[in-house]
Amino acid sequence: MFEARLVQSSIFKKVLEAIKELLNEATFDCSDSGIQLQAMDSSHVSLVSLNLRSDGFDQYRCDRNLSMGINLASMTKIMKCAGNDDIMTMKAQDNADSVTFMFESPNQEKMSDYEMKLMNLDQEHLGIPETDYSCVIKLPSAEFARICRDLSQFGESVVISCTKEGVKFSAAGDIGSANIKLAQTANVDKEDEAVSIEMQEKVSLTFACRYLNYFTKATPLSPQVCLSMSAEVPLVVEYKIGEIGHIRYYLAPKIEE
């Protein structure tokens, strides 16, 4: 028996918005420790890693490990049926071929349930090595979304260069070039608005704008985003999900030929 109750169903709606453009379907692995998802996009350029800890749910029970293969377009249809303030419960029997979503209005006067068929998906788990990153940049997530959106007008690629002084995002193309520099914030009165850089070595890497823009669909999940970079390894873009977990995106850098 699997049962997970979340008072704020809006969190799950936001999680789905954050992955549905990169992935068509995905396996949600449910265990005693929580719900995990790891999947690459179809071109194997980026990877989504989602972790929702069991202790972040209002109620959580998972007697046996359960892998739920889910079509994300179908799940989106169901999550659209939930009000933002609704309480959501996901439920599945052991070895089930379907999962049930139950939504309760806050005053408990409306209850609805939706059953969704599960899919058998071939699972390919990737081992992500522990890496000490040369640069770890934290910045407001809305600022990062704005930068990715603005620079994608100039070219297909963004160069992210990080030094002790700050981080520079650059793009160039037919109409010209663009550079956006962010310095580390001096005072951190408002933590959510801070830009902070931890640097061991300076790094400059090139990434596809299109994927960075997909990642910024996670912006409503967190006021801050964390970018981790090392030379010639995938970028990590991490959004914390309240007290419940995180979503991480990995993106392979573009390589000079």
Binding site for another protein (CB under 8 A): 40, 43-47, 124-129, 157, 206, 208, 233-234, 250, 252-257
Question: In this complex, which beta carbon is closest to another protein, that of residue 240 or of residue 254?
Answer: 254
The token pair that represents 70 in the structure block: 């889910």
Instruction: Please identify, using beta-carbon distances, which residue of 30 and 48 lies nearer to another protein.
Output: 48
φ/ψ of 46, rounded to 5, equals -130, 160
The strand order across the sheet containing 46-53 reads 66-71, 25-31, 34-40, 46-53, 245-251, 235-241, 224-229, 135-140, 196-199
Q: Which is nearer to another protein, 124 or 201 (CB)?
A: 124
Q: How far is the CB of 60 from another protein (least distance, A)?
A: 25
Which secondary structure element, helix H or strand E, spans residue 6, and what is its range?
Answer: strand 2-6
From edge to edge, which strands make up the β-sheet containing 98-104? 59-62, 2-6, 87-92, 98-104, 111-117
Instruction: Please identify, using beta-carbon distances, which residue of 33 and 206 lies nearer to another protein.
Output: 206
Compare residues 41 and 86 and give the one whose CB is closer to another protein. Answer: 41
**What are the structure tokens assigned to 134, written together?**
């040369």
Give the nearest distance from C-beta 2 to another protein in angstroms: 23
Least Å distance, CB 7 to another protein, is: 34
Minimum CB–partner distance for residue 98 and another protein (Å): 28
Phi and psi, residue 89, nearest 5°: -130, 130
Residue 58 near residue 49, CB atoms below 8 Å: no
Shortest reach from residue 257's CB to another protein, in Å? 5
**Beta carbons of 55 and 5 less than 8 angstroms apart:** no
